[in-house]
């Protein structure tokens, strides 16, 4: 069951990363500045933010099987529609549609984890399915660059979009809710507003404002950084841009292992999650030497460490809602909290475009090396439960 969520996440990131890899070509063709490109990314994040608050409760109402299927069918269709973009506005509109569908991936996958895994294994299970984001990002640069050079950028969006419909052929006849979880899953669900009013949910939402935008920066801007700051051409981007994502995949596993180890050693589960997030947030400070490194190779190495820090922290963040709330509420809780990541992503994306246009990438990397520490501070000071 977790492998289905893993492959869905791979496809999710392939569809998402296609624009990042094709951006140098599309920016030239559509005459987009850094600010204009940031607005296209903003369109994705705006829909992503709105639908995070909708997709979680929707998946709860429809059930994991139907809800997940509808989300991936929507975003796969939106990915294919990118081939019809004729300028920055239409490209931004199709990104908006993509973001609306892709928002459902994590609430649905978190619900699978809650249904199928005990608390001692949830962080590791979350890390396994979330490693699909790294795998998708690894595959995107060489695959998309090859398709783009060989056939054109339109085919890159179409071919990656088709993968979602292939996934549906496996998902629909396979997925089922485990019998032991059916009663809890079918129990009455609290309203989204009553959930958001709890201290855990609103503080967890604030924490995600200062964590997830770091990842958005790397997936949407890293190829651009390599081209404009390190002077890579499209072939070099395809050859090297996947390396940090490959290294980052290990963070999904190590993050789950650290958290699970602390739980098994007797540390309260929520405290163990917070400790793991903090340790990996410190690794994310490697973004600072990344932008100051004299060579492109050293820069890529430091970015790899920073991205590993993110995935390690996220493994515990993904597990937290299931540690605190019953299975029937987990998708709603994570969807609501992810509105924070979308809001932070929108704000920091617009800031990134403006800062790069007016200054350079240096202050941007420094900022994204420091803000994860704010996330950790919020978790320790505001995100509390009765047994923490």
CA atoms of 19 and 24, how far apart (whole Å): 9
Write out pLDDT tens, residues 368-379: 999 999 999 999
What is the model's pLDDT at position 306?
A: 96
Where residue 107 falls (left for φ over 0; alpha for ψ -120 to 50; beta otherwise) is: alpha
- Contact assessment for residue 157 and residue 11, using Cβ atoms and an 8 Å cutoff: no
Distance CA 237, CA 25 (A): 12
Instruction: Give me the residue label for tokens 């002077």.
Output: 231
Nearest to 86 by CA among 20, 31, 11: 31
Identify whether 183 is part of a domain.
no
DSSP secondary structure, 31-50, as one string: T--HHHHHHHHHHHHHHHHH
Q: Is 80 exceeded by the pLDDT of residue 385? A: no
Domain assignment present for residue 76? The answer is yes
Q: How many angstroms separate the CA atoms of 88 and 32, rounded?
A: 7
DSSP 8-state symbol, 179? G
Q: Which of 137-151, 155-169, 172-186, 313-327 has the lowest mean pLDDT?
A: 172-186
Q: Please indicate, yes or no, if residue 186 is contained in any of the structural domains.
A: no
How far lies 309's CA from each of 95, 213, 284, 355, 387, in Å?
27, 13, 5, 24, 27
Per-residue pLDDT band at 387 (split at 50, 70, 90): very low
CB neighbours of residue 169 within 10 Å: 9
CATH number for position 221: 1.20.1250.20
Write out the two tokens for 236: 């070099």
Q: Which of 17, 22, 28, 75 is nearest to 48 (CA)?
A: 75
- Rounded (to 5) percent helix, strand, coil in the chain: 85, 0, 15
Tell me whether residue 356 is in a domain.
Answer: yes
| String of DSSP letters for 99-166 | HHHHTTHHHHHHHHHHHH--HHHHHHHHHHHHHHHHHHHHHHHHHHHHHHHHH-HHHHHHHHHHHHHH
Q: What is the CA radius of gyration of the chain?
A: 19
Give the residue-averaged pLDDT of 262-286: 91
Per-residue pLDDT band at 182 (split at 50, 70, 90): low
Task: Please tell me the predicted confidence (pLDDT) of residue 361.
Answer: 93
List phi, psi (to 5°) of 211.
Answer: -120, -60
Q: What is the count of structural domains for the chain?
A: 1
Q: Give the span between the Cα atoms of 53 and 100, in whole angstroms.
A: 11
What mean pLDDT comes out for the span 176-204?
A: 74
* Cβ within 8 Å of residue 201, ≥6 positions away: 195, 333, 336, 337
**Are 245 and 300 in contact, with CB atoms under 8 Å apart?**
no
d(CA 4, CA 160): 17
CB 109 within 8 A of CB 8: yes
Residue 351 within any structural domain of the chain: yes
- Distances 315 to 3, 68, 201 between C-alpha atoms, Å: 16, 20, 17
Domain annotation covers residue 370: yes
- Residue-wise pLDDT tens digits, 215-265: 889 988 888 899 889 988 877 887 888 899 889 878 878 887 888 889 888
Would you say residue 185 has pLDDT above 70?
Answer: no
Confidence band, pLDDT 50/70/90 cuts, at residue 189: low
Residue 191 burial by CB count (10 A; 0-12/13-18/19+): exposed, middle or buried? exposed
- Structural domain contains residue 179: no
- Which helix or strand (DSSP H or E) is residue 201 part of? helix 199-209
Q: What is the pLDDT of residue 186?
A: 63
Mapped onto helix, strand or coil, the DSSP state of residue 190 is: coil
Torsion of CA 338, 167, 323, 117, to 10 degrees: -170
286: domain range? 2-172+191-381
Within-domain flag for 271: yes
Does the pLDDT of residue 388 top 50, yes or no? Answer: no
- pLDDT higher than 90, residue 136: no
Residue 350 exposed, middle or buried by CB count within 10 Å (0-12, 13-18, 19+): middle
């Amino acid at each position: 069951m977790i492998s289905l969520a893993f492959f869905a996440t791979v496809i999710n990131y392939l569809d998402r990363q296609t624009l990042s890899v094709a951006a140098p070509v599309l920016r030239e063709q559509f005459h987009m500045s850094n600010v204009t490109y940031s607005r296209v990314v903003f369109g994705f994040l705006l829909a992503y933010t709105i639908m995070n608050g909708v997709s979680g409760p929707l998946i709860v109402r429809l059930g994991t099987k139907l809800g997940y299927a509808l989300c991936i069918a929507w975003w796969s269709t939106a990915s294919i529609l990118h081939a019809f973009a004729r300028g920055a506005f239409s490209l931004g509109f199709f990104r908006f549609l993509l973001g609306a569908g892709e928002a459902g991936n994590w609430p649905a996958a978190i619900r699978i984890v809650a249904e199928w895994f005990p608390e001692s294994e949830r962080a590791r299970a979350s890390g396994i399915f979330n490693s699909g984001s790294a795998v998708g990002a690894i595959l995107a640069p060489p695959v998309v660059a090859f398709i783009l050079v060989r056939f054109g950028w339109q085919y890159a969006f179409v071919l990656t979009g088709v993968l979602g419909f292939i996934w549906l052929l496996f998902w629909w006849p396979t997925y089922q809710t485990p019998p032991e979880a059916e009663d809890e899953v079918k129990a009455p669900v609290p309203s989204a507003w009553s959930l958001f009013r709890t201290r855990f949910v609103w503080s967890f939402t604030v924490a995600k404002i200062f964590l997830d935008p770091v990842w958005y920066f790397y997936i949407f801007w890293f190829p651009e950084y390599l081209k404009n700051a390190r002077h890579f051409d499209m072939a070099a981007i395809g050859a090297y841009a996947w390396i940090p994502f490959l290294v980052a995949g290990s963070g999904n596993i190590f993050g789950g292992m650290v958290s699970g180890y602390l739980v098994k050693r007797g540390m309260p589960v929520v405290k163990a999650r917070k400790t793991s997030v903090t340790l990996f947030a410190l690794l994310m400070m490697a973004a600072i030497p990344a932008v100051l490194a004299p060579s492109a190779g050293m820069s890529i190495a430091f970015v790899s460490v920073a991205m590993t820090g993110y995935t390690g922290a996220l493994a515990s963040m993904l597990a937290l809602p299931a540690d605190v709330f019953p299975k029937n509420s987990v998708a709603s809780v994570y969807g609501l909290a992810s509105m924070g990541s979308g809001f932070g992503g929108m704000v920091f994306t617009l800031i990134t475009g403006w800062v790069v246009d007016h200054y350079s990438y240096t202050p941007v990397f420094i900022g994204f090396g420091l803000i994860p520490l704010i996330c950790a501070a919020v978790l320790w000071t505001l995100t509390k439960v009765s047994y923490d």
